[in-house]
Protein backbone atom coordinates (compact mmCIF):
# COMPACT_ATOMS: atom_id res chain seq x y z
CA UNK A 1 0.00 0.00 0.00
CA UNK A 2 1.88 3.02 -1.28
CA UNK A 3 -0.66 5.82 -1.08
CA UNK A 4 0.18 8.26 1.67
CA UNK A 5 -3.36 8.66 2.99
CA UNK A 6 -3.75 4.94 3.66
CA UNK A 7 -0.53 4.34 5.55
CA UNK A 8 -0.70 3.32 9.19
CA UNK A 9 -0.33 5.93 11.91
CA UNK A 10 2.94 4.39 13.04
CA UNK A 11 4.30 4.51 9.48
CA UNK A 12 3.22 8.16 9.16
CA UNK A 13 4.90 9.01 12.46
CA UNK A 14 8.10 7.38 11.24
CA UNK A 15 7.97 9.42 8.03
CA UNK A 16 7.55 12.64 10.01
CA UNK A 17 10.41 11.82 12.36
CA UNK A 18 12.61 10.94 9.39
CA UNK A 19 11.60 14.31 7.88
CA UNK A 20 10.30 12.64 4.73
CA UNK A 21 7.17 14.75 5.20
CA UNK A 22 6.27 17.48 7.66
CA UNK A 23 3.34 17.38 10.05
CA UNK A 24 1.97 20.46 8.31
CA UNK A 25 2.17 18.84 4.88
CA UNK A 26 0.51 15.68 6.13
CA UNK A 27 -2.28 17.62 7.83
CA UNK A 28 -3.00 19.60 4.66
CA UNK A 29 -3.04 16.36 2.70
CA UNK A 30 -5.77 14.97 4.93
CA UNK A 31 -7.70 18.24 5.04
CA UNK A 32 -7.73 18.26 1.24
CA UNK A 33 -9.05 14.71 1.21
CA UNK A 34 -11.72 15.61 3.76
CA UNK A 35 -12.88 18.44 1.50
CA UNK A 36 -13.10 16.09 -1.47
CA UNK A 37 -14.47 12.89 0.03
CA UNK A 38 -16.21 13.69 3.30
CA UNK A 39 -19.35 15.35 1.86
CA UNK A 40 -20.56 12.00 0.47
CA UNK A 41 -19.55 10.08 3.60
CA UNK A 42 -20.42 12.53 6.38
CA UNK A 43 -17.90 10.79 8.62
CA UNK A 44 -16.19 13.90 10.05
CA UNK A 45 -18.89 16.18 11.42
CA UNK A 46 -16.94 18.65 13.59
CA UNK A 47 -13.94 20.42 12.06
CA UNK A 48 -11.05 22.09 13.89
CA UNK A 49 -8.60 22.83 11.10
CA UNK A 50 -7.13 26.12 12.32
CA UNK A 51 -6.14 24.86 15.75
CA UNK A 52 -4.76 21.76 14.07
CA UNK A 53 -2.62 23.88 11.76
CA UNK A 54 -1.11 25.64 14.77
CA UNK A 55 -0.45 22.29 16.43
CA UNK A 56 1.15 20.83 13.28
CA UNK A 57 3.44 23.84 12.96
CA UNK A 58 4.46 23.43 16.58
CA UNK A 59 5.14 19.72 15.95
CA UNK A 60 7.48 20.58 13.10
CA UNK A 61 9.22 23.27 15.11
CA UNK A 62 9.69 20.84 18.01
CA UNK A 63 11.15 18.23 15.68
CA UNK A 64 13.55 20.80 14.24
CA UNK A 65 14.83 21.33 17.80
CA UNK A 66 15.30 17.58 18.20
CA UNK A 67 12.18 17.11 20.35
CA UNK A 68 9.89 14.14 19.74
CA UNK A 69 6.62 14.46 21.61
CA UNK A 70 5.82 10.76 21.45
CA UNK A 71 5.24 7.75 19.19
CA UNK A 72 2.50 9.54 17.21
CA UNK A 73 4.38 12.85 16.79
CA UNK A 74 2.60 14.96 14.19
CA UNK A 75 0.07 12.33 13.07
CA UNK A 76 -3.26 13.96 12.11
CA UNK A 77 -6.23 12.25 13.76
CA UNK A 78 -9.94 12.63 14.29
CA UNK A 79 -11.84 11.27 17.27
CA UNK A 80 -15.32 10.01 18.07
CA UNK A 81 -17.77 12.80 18.84
CA UNK A 82 -18.45 11.43 22.32
CA UNK A 83 -14.97 12.40 23.59
CA UNK A 84 -14.71 15.84 25.14
CA UNK A 85 -12.33 18.13 23.28
CA UNK A 86 -12.02 21.62 24.72
CA UNK A 87 -13.92 24.15 22.60
CA UNK A 88 -15.81 21.54 20.55
CA UNK A 89 -19.33 20.14 20.98
CA UNK A 90 -20.06 16.81 22.65
CA UNK A 91 -23.64 15.79 21.91
CA UNK A 92 -23.71 11.98 21.62
CA UNK A 93 -26.02 12.72 18.70
CA UNK A 94 -28.70 14.18 20.99
CA UNK A 95 -30.49 17.31 19.77
CA UNK A 96 -30.96 18.51 23.35
CA UNK A 97 -27.16 18.57 23.75
CA UNK A 98 -26.28 20.30 20.49
CA UNK A 99 -25.04 23.39 22.32
CA UNK A 100 -22.90 21.49 24.82
CA UNK A 101 -19.35 22.74 24.33
CA UNK A 102 -16.64 20.94 26.28
CA UNK A 103 -14.42 23.10 28.48
CA UNK A 104 -11.61 20.54 28.78
CA UNK A 105 -10.14 17.53 27.01
CA UNK A 106 -11.02 13.97 27.98
CA UNK A 107 -8.14 12.21 29.71
CA UNK A 108 -7.64 9.95 26.69
CA UNK A 109 -7.42 13.04 24.47
CA UNK A 110 -4.84 14.55 26.79
CA UNK A 111 -2.80 11.37 26.60
CA UNK A 112 -3.06 11.12 22.83
CA UNK A 113 -1.90 14.71 22.52
CA UNK A 114 1.01 13.88 24.81
CA UNK A 115 1.82 11.05 22.37
CA UNK A 116 2.05 13.70 19.65
CA UNK A 117 -1.18 13.60 17.65
CA UNK A 118 -2.60 16.56 15.74
CA UNK A 119 -6.36 16.47 16.36
CA UNK A 120 -8.39 18.15 13.61
CA UNK A 121 -11.99 16.96 13.96
CA UNK A 122 -14.64 14.69 15.44
CA UNK A 123 -16.54 11.82 13.84
CA UNK A 124 -20.19 10.85 13.77
CA UNK A 125 -22.18 8.59 16.12
CA UNK A 126 -25.75 7.33 16.60
CA UNK A 127 -27.95 9.01 19.17
CA UNK A 128 -26.82 8.01 22.67
CA UNK A 129 -24.16 5.78 21.06
CA UNK A 130 -26.79 3.05 20.86
CA UNK A 131 -26.97 1.59 17.37
CA UNK A 132 -25.08 -0.45 14.78
CA UNK A 133 -25.70 2.51 12.48
CA UNK A 134 -24.35 6.06 12.82
CA UNK A 135 -27.00 8.69 12.26
CA UNK A 136 -28.69 11.36 14.35
CA UNK A 137 -30.72 14.55 14.04
CA UNK A 138 -27.74 16.75 14.92
CA UNK A 139 -25.29 15.64 12.22
CA UNK A 140 -27.17 13.36 9.83
CA UNK A 141 -26.17 9.96 8.44
CA UNK A 142 -22.69 8.52 7.89
CA UNK A 143 -22.23 6.25 4.88
CA UNK A 144 -19.81 3.41 4.24
CA UNK A 145 -16.91 4.25 1.93
CA UNK A 146 -17.33 0.77 0.48
CA UNK A 147 -20.96 1.43 -0.54
CA UNK A 148 -22.73 4.68 0.26
CA UNK A 149 -26.05 2.85 0.59
CA UNK A 150 -24.67 0.84 3.48
CA UNK A 151 -23.65 1.45 7.07
CA UNK A 152 -20.08 1.93 8.34
CA UNK A 153 -21.11 0.53 11.73
CA UNK A 154 -21.84 2.12 15.07
CA UNK A 155 -21.45 3.65 17.40
CA UNK A 156 -17.91 4.50 16.25
CA UNK A 157 -19.09 4.50 12.65
CA UNK A 158 -17.69 7.88 11.70
CA UNK A 159 -14.35 6.81 13.13
CA UNK A 160 -14.13 3.67 11.01
CA UNK A 161 -15.42 5.35 7.86
CA UNK A 162 -12.86 8.17 8.15
CA UNK A 163 -10.03 5.67 8.56
CA UNK A 164 -11.16 3.41 5.72
CA UNK A 165 -11.52 6.33 3.31
CA UNK A 166 -8.10 7.72 4.22
CA UNK A 167 -9.41 10.94 5.77
CA UNK A 168 -7.24 10.76 8.90
CA UNK A 169 -4.23 8.94 10.26
CA UNK A 170 -5.66 7.52 13.48
CA UNK A 171 -8.90 7.25 15.47
CA UNK A 172 -10.30 6.36 18.86
CA UNK A 173 -13.79 5.17 19.70
CA UNK A 174 -15.72 3.44 22.47
CA UNK A 175 -17.36 0.05 22.94
CA UNK A 176 -20.12 -1.33 25.14
CA UNK A 177 -21.87 -3.56 22.59
CA UNK A 178 -19.27 -3.84 19.86
CA UNK A 179 -19.09 -0.13 19.06
CA UNK A 180 -15.37 -0.21 18.19
CA UNK A 181 -15.35 -3.69 16.72
CA UNK A 182 -18.47 -3.78 14.55
CA UNK A 183 -17.41 -0.58 12.70
CA UNK A 184 -13.95 -2.11 12.24
CA UNK A 185 -15.61 -5.20 10.76
CA UNK A 186 -18.08 -3.30 8.58
CA UNK A 187 -15.46 -0.81 7.35
CA UNK A 188 -12.43 -3.05 6.95
CA UNK A 189 -10.07 -1.56 9.56
CA UNK A 190 -8.45 -2.71 12.81
CA UNK A 191 -10.09 -2.03 16.16
CA UNK A 192 -9.38 -2.90 19.78
CA UNK A 193 -11.79 -3.13 22.71
CA UNK A 194 -9.52 -2.90 25.76
CA UNK A 195 -9.86 -4.67 29.07
CA UNK A 196 -12.46 -2.76 31.10
CA UNK A 197 -10.76 -0.05 33.17
CA UNK A 198 -7.44 -0.22 31.33
CA UNK A 199 -8.02 3.17 29.70
CA UNK A 200 -9.75 5.63 32.06
CA UNK A 201 -12.85 7.04 30.33
CA UNK A 202 -12.94 10.37 32.19
CA UNK A 203 -14.20 12.99 29.78
CA UNK A 204 -15.90 10.49 27.51
CA UNK A 205 -19.21 11.59 28.96
CA UNK A 206 -21.86 14.28 28.99
CA UNK A 207 -21.68 17.01 31.63
CA UNK A 208 -21.63 15.96 35.26
CA UNK A 209 -20.70 12.30 34.76
CA UNK A 210 -17.45 11.08 36.30
CA UNK A 211 -18.25 7.48 37.18
CA UNK A 212 -16.87 4.77 34.90
CA UNK A 213 -19.88 2.99 33.39
CA UNK A 214 -20.10 -0.75 33.68
CA UNK A 215 -19.03 -2.61 30.51
CA UNK A 216 -18.12 0.52 28.53
CA UNK A 217 -14.56 1.17 27.37
CA UNK A 218 -12.69 3.57 25.11
CA UNK A 219 -10.05 2.36 22.67
CA UNK A 220 -8.25 2.77 19.35
CA UNK A 221 -9.01 2.09 15.70
CA UNK A 222 -6.36 2.11 13.01
CA UNK A 223 -5.16 0.77 9.69
CA UNK A 224 -2.69 -1.62 11.28
CA UNK A 225 -2.34 -3.67 14.43
CA UNK A 226 0.70 -1.61 15.39
CA UNK A 227 -1.55 1.45 15.47
CA UNK A 228 -3.75 -0.30 18.04
CA UNK A 229 -0.71 -1.08 20.16
CA UNK A 230 0.47 2.53 20.00
CA UNK A 231 -3.00 3.77 20.92
CA UNK A 232 -3.41 1.44 23.88
CA UNK A 233 0.02 2.28 25.27
CA UNK A 234 -0.63 6.00 24.83
CA UNK A 235 -4.03 6.00 26.56
CA UNK A 236 -3.72 3.21 29.14
CA UNK A 237 -2.88 3.46 32.81
CA UNK A 238 -4.56 4.57 36.02
CA UNK A 239 -5.81 8.12 36.41
CA UNK A 240 -4.71 10.44 39.21
CA UNK A 241 -6.98 8.80 41.80
CA UNK A 242 -5.89 5.22 41.17
CA UNK A 243 -2.34 6.12 40.19
CA UNK A 244 -1.46 6.79 43.83
CA UNK A 245 -1.15 3.05 44.33
CA UNK A 246 -1.46 1.38 40.93
CA UNK A 247 0.95 1.16 38.00
CA UNK A 248 0.51 -0.37 34.55
CA UNK A 249 2.37 -3.57 33.71
CA UNK A 250 0.65 -5.30 30.79
CA UNK A 251 2.01 -8.72 29.84
CA UNK A 252 3.95 -8.68 26.57
CA UNK A 253 3.25 -11.29 23.89
CA UNK A 254 5.31 -14.39 24.70
CA UNK A 255 4.93 -15.94 21.25
CA UNK A 256 6.76 -14.77 18.15
CA UNK A 257 5.19 -16.88 15.39
CA UNK A 258 1.73 -18.15 14.47
CA UNK A 259 3.00 -21.68 14.90
CA UNK A 260 3.38 -21.08 18.63
CA UNK A 261 -0.33 -20.41 19.18
CA UNK A 262 -3.08 -22.64 20.50
CA UNK A 263 -6.43 -21.02 19.75
CA UNK A 264 -10.06 -21.94 20.17
CA UNK A 265 -12.41 -21.22 17.28
CA UNK A 266 -16.10 -20.37 17.71
CA UNK A 267 -17.63 -19.95 14.26
CA UNK A 268 -21.37 -20.07 14.95
CA UNK A 269 -23.95 -20.37 17.70
CA UNK A 270 -27.70 -20.92 17.86
CA UNK A 271 -28.02 -17.88 20.13
CA UNK A 272 -26.90 -15.63 17.26
CA UNK A 273 -26.57 -17.47 13.93
CA UNK A 274 -23.73 -16.35 11.66
CA UNK A 275 -23.77 -16.19 7.86
CA UNK A 276 -21.73 -18.82 6.08
CA UNK A 277 -19.36 -16.28 4.55
CA UNK A 278 -18.48 -14.85 7.97
CA UNK A 279 -18.06 -18.35 9.40
CA UNK A 280 -15.70 -19.10 6.52
CA UNK A 281 -13.54 -16.08 7.36
CA UNK A 282 -13.24 -17.16 11.01
CA UNK A 283 -12.27 -20.64 9.82
CA UNK A 284 -9.77 -19.14 7.37
CA UNK A 285 -7.98 -17.27 10.16
CA UNK A 286 -7.86 -20.48 12.18
CA UNK A 287 -6.48 -22.36 9.17
CA UNK A 288 -3.75 -19.74 8.75
CA UNK A 289 -2.66 -20.42 12.33
CA UNK A 290 -2.89 -24.19 11.90
CA UNK A 291 -1.02 -24.12 8.58
CA UNK A 292 1.79 -22.25 10.34
CA UNK A 293 2.10 -25.09 12.83
CA UNK A 294 -0.24 -23.82 15.51
CA UNK A 295 -3.28 -25.51 17.02
CA UNK A 296 -6.86 -24.49 16.18
CA UNK A 297 -9.54 -26.22 18.26
CA UNK A 298 -13.06 -25.80 16.86
CA UNK A 299 -14.74 -27.55 19.79
CA UNK A 300 -13.22 -25.80 22.80
CA UNK A 301 -15.51 -23.48 24.74
CA UNK A 302 -15.45 -21.81 28.15
CA UNK A 303 -17.41 -23.74 30.77
CA UNK A 304 -20.73 -21.93 30.60
CA UNK A 305 -23.96 -22.04 28.64
CA UNK A 306 -23.88 -19.42 25.83
CA UNK A 307 -27.57 -18.59 26.21
CA UNK A 308 -27.17 -18.03 29.96
CA UNK A 309 -24.09 -15.88 29.37
CA UNK A 310 -25.98 -13.80 26.83
CA UNK A 311 -28.87 -13.28 29.25
CA UNK A 312 -26.44 -12.05 31.91
CA UNK A 313 -24.79 -9.70 29.43
CA UNK A 314 -28.08 -8.30 28.22
CA UNK A 315 -29.24 -7.65 31.77
CA UNK A 316 -26.06 -5.69 32.49
CA UNK A 317 -25.99 -4.02 29.06
CA UNK A 318 -29.50 -2.65 28.91
CA UNK A 319 -29.45 -1.44 32.49
CA UNK A 320 -26.10 0.28 31.81
CA UNK A 321 -27.46 1.84 28.62
CA UNK A 322 -30.59 3.04 30.44
CA UNK A 323 -28.35 4.84 32.94
CA UNK A 324 -27.48 7.24 30.10
CA UNK A 325 -31.13 8.19 29.74
CA UNK A 326 -32.10 11.70 30.88
CA UNK A 327 -33.93 11.72 34.22
CA UNK A 328 -37.28 12.69 32.72
CA UNK A 329 -37.12 9.93 30.11
CA UNK A 330 -35.97 7.36 32.65
CA UNK A 331 -38.91 8.24 34.90
CA UNK A 332 -41.19 7.44 31.98
CA UNK A 333 -39.47 4.06 31.54
CA UNK A 334 -40.00 3.27 35.22
CA UNK A 335 -43.66 4.25 34.98
CA UNK A 336 -44.17 2.13 31.86
CA UNK A 337 -42.45 -0.85 33.47
CA UNK A 338 -44.66 -0.57 36.57
CA UNK A 339 -47.76 -0.72 34.38
CA UNK A 340 -46.76 -3.87 32.50
CA UNK A 341 -49.04 -6.88 32.72
CA UNK A 342 -47.08 -9.59 34.60
CA UNK A 343 -48.08 -12.03 31.85
CA UNK A 344 -46.56 -9.83 29.16
CA UNK A 345 -43.30 -11.55 28.26
CA UNK A 346 -42.83 -9.89 24.87
CA UNK A 347 -39.34 -8.72 23.85
CA UNK A 348 -40.36 -5.10 24.42
CA UNK A 349 -41.67 -5.81 27.90
CA UNK A 350 -38.57 -7.79 28.81
CA UNK A 351 -36.35 -4.95 27.64
CA UNK A 352 -38.33 -2.44 29.68
CA UNK A 353 -37.99 -4.54 32.82
CA UNK A 354 -34.27 -4.94 32.26
CA UNK A 355 -33.78 -1.22 31.73
CA UNK A 356 -35.35 -0.51 35.11
CA UNK A 357 -34.11 -3.38 37.28
CA UNK A 358 -33.45 -2.91 40.98
CA UNK A 359 -29.98 -2.74 42.46
CA UNK A 360 -30.65 -6.17 43.96
CA UNK A 361 -31.27 -7.64 40.50
CA UNK A 362 -28.25 -5.86 39.06
CA UNK A 363 -26.08 -7.23 41.88
CA UNK A 364 -27.42 -10.72 41.18
CA UNK A 365 -26.47 -10.38 37.50
CA UNK A 366 -23.07 -9.04 38.50
CA UNK A 367 -22.50 -12.07 40.71
CA UNK A 368 -23.41 -14.37 37.81
CA UNK A 369 -20.97 -12.41 35.67
CA UNK A 370 -18.21 -13.20 38.18
CA UNK A 371 -18.80 -16.91 37.60
CA UNK A 372 -18.39 -16.30 33.87
CA UNK A 373 -15.16 -14.38 34.46
CA UNK A 374 -13.66 -17.29 36.40
CA UNK A 375 -14.73 -19.66 33.63
CA UNK A 376 -12.86 -17.51 31.10
CA UNK A 377 -9.84 -17.41 33.41
CA UNK A 378 -9.71 -21.21 33.45
CA UNK A 379 -10.22 -21.34 29.69
CA UNK A 380 -7.28 -19.05 28.95
CA UNK A 381 -4.98 -21.27 30.97
CA UNK A 382 -5.34 -23.76 28.11
CA UNK A 383 -5.80 -21.45 25.09
CA UNK A 384 -3.96 -18.34 23.97
CA UNK A 385 -6.98 -16.74 22.33
CA UNK A 386 -10.48 -17.30 21.00
CA UNK A 387 -11.16 -16.56 17.32
CA UNK A 388 -14.80 -15.65 16.62
CA UNK A 389 -17.11 -13.46 14.56
CA UNK A 390 -17.91 -9.97 15.76
CA UNK A 391 -21.02 -9.60 13.59
CA UNK A 392 -23.05 -12.17 11.69
CA UNK A 393 -23.10 -10.43 8.31
CA UNK A 394 -21.18 -7.77 6.36
CA UNK A 395 -22.47 -4.20 6.20
CA UNK A 396 -26.18 -3.92 5.50
CA UNK A 397 -28.13 -1.07 3.91
CA UNK A 398 -29.26 1.91 6.00
CA UNK A 399 -32.43 1.19 7.94
CA UNK A 400 -33.91 4.02 10.01
CA UNK A 401 -37.14 2.27 10.94
CA UNK A 402 -38.08 2.17 14.63
CA UNK A 403 -35.77 -0.22 16.47
CA UNK A 404 -38.53 -2.71 17.20
CA UNK A 405 -39.31 -3.16 13.51
CA UNK A 406 -35.75 -3.79 12.34
CA UNK A 407 -34.39 -7.17 11.34
CA UNK A 408 -31.28 -8.40 9.56
CA UNK A 409 -31.16 -11.11 6.91
CA UNK A 410 -28.71 -13.95 7.52
CA UNK A 411 -28.45 -16.43 4.64
CA UNK A 412 -32.06 -15.74 3.70
CA UNK A 413 -33.50 -15.86 7.22
CA UNK A 414 -34.82 -12.82 9.06
CA UNK A 415 -33.28 -12.43 12.49
CA UNK A 416 -33.76 -9.89 15.34
CA UNK A 417 -31.72 -6.73 14.83
CA UNK A 418 -29.86 -6.68 18.15
CA UNK A 419 -29.35 -10.45 18.37
CA UNK A 420 -25.80 -10.01 17.05
CA UNK A 421 -24.60 -8.28 20.21
CA UNK A 422 -24.08 -11.82 21.50
CA UNK A 423 -20.70 -11.88 19.73
CA UNK A 424 -19.65 -8.51 21.09
CA UNK A 425 -20.86 -9.46 24.55
CA UNK A 426 -18.54 -12.44 24.89
CA UNK A 427 -15.71 -10.03 25.63
CA UNK A 428 -17.65 -7.05 26.97
CA UNK A 429 -19.57 -8.82 29.72
CA UNK A 430 -16.42 -10.25 31.32
CA UNK A 431 -14.10 -7.24 30.81
CA UNK A 432 -11.92 -9.07 28.26
CA UNK A 433 -9.83 -7.49 25.49
CA UNK A 434 -10.83 -8.12 21.89
CA UNK A 435 -9.02 -7.14 18.71
CA UNK A 436 -10.70 -7.07 15.29
CA UNK A 437 -8.65 -7.71 12.17
CA UNK A 438 -9.82 -7.24 8.56
CA UNK A 439 -9.94 -10.32 6.36
CA UNK A 440 -10.59 -8.49 3.08
CA UNK A 441 -13.74 -7.78 1.07
CA UNK A 442 -16.25 -10.46 0.03
CA UNK A 443 -17.61 -11.13 -3.47
CA UNK A 444 -19.82 -8.05 -3.15
CA UNK A 445 -16.85 -5.87 -2.22
CA UNK A 446 -17.82 -5.57 1.46
CA UNK A 447 -15.26 -6.07 4.26
CA UNK A 448 -15.45 -8.82 6.85
CA UNK A 449 -13.63 -8.68 10.18
CA UNK A 450 -12.85 -11.34 12.77
CA UNK A 451 -12.28 -10.83 16.50
CA UNK A 452 -9.51 -12.19 18.70
CA UNK A 453 -10.54 -12.43 22.36
CA UNK A 454 -7.92 -12.85 25.07
CA UNK A 455 -7.49 -13.01 28.82
CA UNK A 456 -8.12 -9.98 31.02
CA UNK A 457 -5.27 -7.48 30.61
CA UNK A 458 -3.95 -9.54 27.71
CA UNK A 459 -4.45 -6.55 25.41
CA UNK A 460 -0.95 -6.59 23.98
CA UNK A 461 -1.28 -10.36 23.52
CA UNK A 462 -4.40 -10.16 21.32
CA UNK A 463 -2.85 -7.24 19.44
CA UNK A 464 0.37 -9.25 19.14
CA UNK A 465 -1.52 -12.10 17.47
CA UNK A 466 -3.20 -9.55 15.22
CA UNK A 467 0.22 -8.23 14.19
CA UNK A 468 1.33 -11.73 13.18
CA UNK A 469 -1.89 -12.33 11.25
CA UNK A 470 -1.47 -8.97 9.53
CA UNK A 471 1.94 -10.11 8.31
CA UNK A 472 0.27 -13.31 7.09
CA UNK A 473 -2.05 -11.28 4.85
CA UNK A 474 -4.90 -10.03 7.04
CA UNK A 475 -4.11 -6.41 6.32
CA UNK A 476 -6.05 -3.26 5.61
CA UNK A 477 -7.31 -2.92 2.04
CA UNK A 478 -8.54 0.54 1.00
CA UNK A 479 -11.90 0.86 -0.74
CA UNK A 480 -11.90 1.82 -4.41
CA UNK A 481 -12.51 5.42 -5.45
CA UNK A 482 -10.56 7.20 -2.71
CA UNK A 483 -7.20 7.41 -4.43
CA UNK A 484 -5.00 10.49 -4.02
Residue 259, exposed/middle/buried by CB under 10 A (0-12, 13-18, 19+)?
Answer: middle
Catalytic residue among 80, 122, 193, 368: 80
Catalytic annotation on 172?
Answer: no
Q: Are strands 295-297 and 385-388 parallel, antiparallel or unpaired?
A: unpaired
Distance CA 163, CA 226 (A): 15
Q: Which of 154, 107, 97 has the alpha carbon at shortest distance from 324?
A: 97
Does the annotation mark 155 as catalytic?
yes
Catalytic residue among 144, 156, 179, 187: 179
Residues 6 or more apart in contact with residue 389 via CB below 8 angstroms: 266, 267, 268, 274, 278, 279, 281, 282, 423, 450, 451
The Cα–Cα gap between 2 and 267 comes to: 34
Q: What is the DSSP letter of 384?
A: S
213/209 Cα distance (integer angstroms): 9
Query: 166-197 burial, b for 16+ CB within 10 Å, e for fewer?
Result: bbbbbbbbbbbbbbbbbbbbbbbbbbbbbbbe
Any catalytic annotation for residue 257?
no
Q: Residues 8, 22, 144, 155: which is the catalytic one?
A: 155
Burial class from Cβ neighbours inside 10 Å (0-12, 13-18, 19+) for residue 110 reads: middle
Q: Work out whether the CA dihedral 144, 196, 199, 12 comes out positive or negative.
A: negative
Enter the DSSP assignment of 144.
Answer: B
Residues labelled as active-site residues: 80, 155, 179
Amino acid sequence: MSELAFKSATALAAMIQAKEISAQELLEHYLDRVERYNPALNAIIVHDAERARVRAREADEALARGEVWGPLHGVPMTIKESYNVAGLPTTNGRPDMKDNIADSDALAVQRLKAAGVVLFGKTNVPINLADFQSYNEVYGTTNSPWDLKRIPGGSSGGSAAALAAGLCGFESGSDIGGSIRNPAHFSGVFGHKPTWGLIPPRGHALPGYLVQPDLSVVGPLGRSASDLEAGVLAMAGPDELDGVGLTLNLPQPAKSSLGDYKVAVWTNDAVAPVSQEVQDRVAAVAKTIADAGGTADFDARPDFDPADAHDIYQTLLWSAMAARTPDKDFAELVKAASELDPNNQSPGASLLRTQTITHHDHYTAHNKRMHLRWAWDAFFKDYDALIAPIMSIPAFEHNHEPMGKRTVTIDGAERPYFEQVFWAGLAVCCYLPSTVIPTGPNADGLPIGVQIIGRQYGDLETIGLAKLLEKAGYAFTPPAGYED
